[in-house]
Structure 1
């Protein structure tokens, strides 16, 4: 349940306690942990958000956001994701519940072992912002 609440906060952008942090003020254990996990990260911007260090960066043309605790442990992360690579279960769920809708702005979210997919679904003038588990279960549906 805690994971779902955190992900809903991610989806809605309700993290209001973010404070930008200059790289020189980020503990080396945090920077080293990020570099070990994402050695090709470029243009890293740091924030302190609800007690976690948040790094926003790019690898190639793909955007990432990761949250690390004070020991450098990766707590959760999200990345831009290619809609063509959505798991079959998510594609089936879209077809079943949102037939005729096209996904866009897809993001892959991960917290621990839990993987989620956040996206916009559009059909004509109708739009939804949705969150699915990797197994195709719809967790959130916001009509836009």
Structure 2
């Protein structure tokens, strides 16, 4: 019984963290800000993450995302990159701490202040590194 409750709680917390929403559920100010930065985007997938909105889209073959608050302020942007573009120190960290595991995806993230971090997805964990490749934290996917 405890396992069933635990599984339910984990599933529910994942659902609460990010929910798909239709474009009409996204506030106009959020959509307007997004379109000003990405005027040619028409195939956008929206998710609600707590009180924020994430727009996922492609530019050419590159996956991108933009996180905005409910007032239309851009909180961060994320761009898929080749694993080879991760800082060497980040790659070394993954090899040492996750032997025999591959990095599934990599991304460069820029926050509202212009701070750059890198993300490496290993198994179902996102590892976050600073610009130099120093490990910052792990986020369960």
Q: TM-score range by the shorter chain?
A: 0.5 to 0.7
SS in 2 for 1:94: helix
The alpha-carbon deviation at position 69 of structure 1 amounts to: 1.2
Matching residue of 1:65 = 65
- Give 1 or 2: higher strand fraction: 1
Cα contact 1:42–1:59 (8 A) shared by 2: no
Moved over 6 A (4+): none
Post-superposition Cα deviations, 1:46-77, rounded to whole Å, max 9, x if no partner, equal 12221111111111111122211122110122
Distance 2:27 2:121 in 1: 36
Q: What 5-or-longer segments of structure 1 have no aligned partner?
A: 1-12, 122-127
Distance 1:139 1:15 in 2: 25
Matching residue of 1:26 = 26
Distance 1:133 1:109 in 2: 10
Q: What 5-or-longer segments of structure 2 have no aligned partner?
A: 1-12
> How much is the aligned-residue C-alpha RMSD, in angstroms?
3.1
Matching residue of 1:10 = none
SS in 2 for 1:72: coil
Post-superposition Cα deviations, 1:4-61, rounded to whole Å, max 9, x if no partner, equal xxxxxxxxx9673333222123222211111111223342111222111111111111
- Give 1 or 2: higher helix fraction: 2
TM-score, with length taken from structure 2: 0.66
The alpha-carbon deviation at position 104 of structure 1 amounts to: 4.9
Matching residue of 2:128 = 131
Distance 1:67 1:96 in 2: 27
Distance 1:96 1:64 in 2: 25
Cα contact 2:89–2:132 (8 A) shared by 1: no
Report the number of matched residues: 122
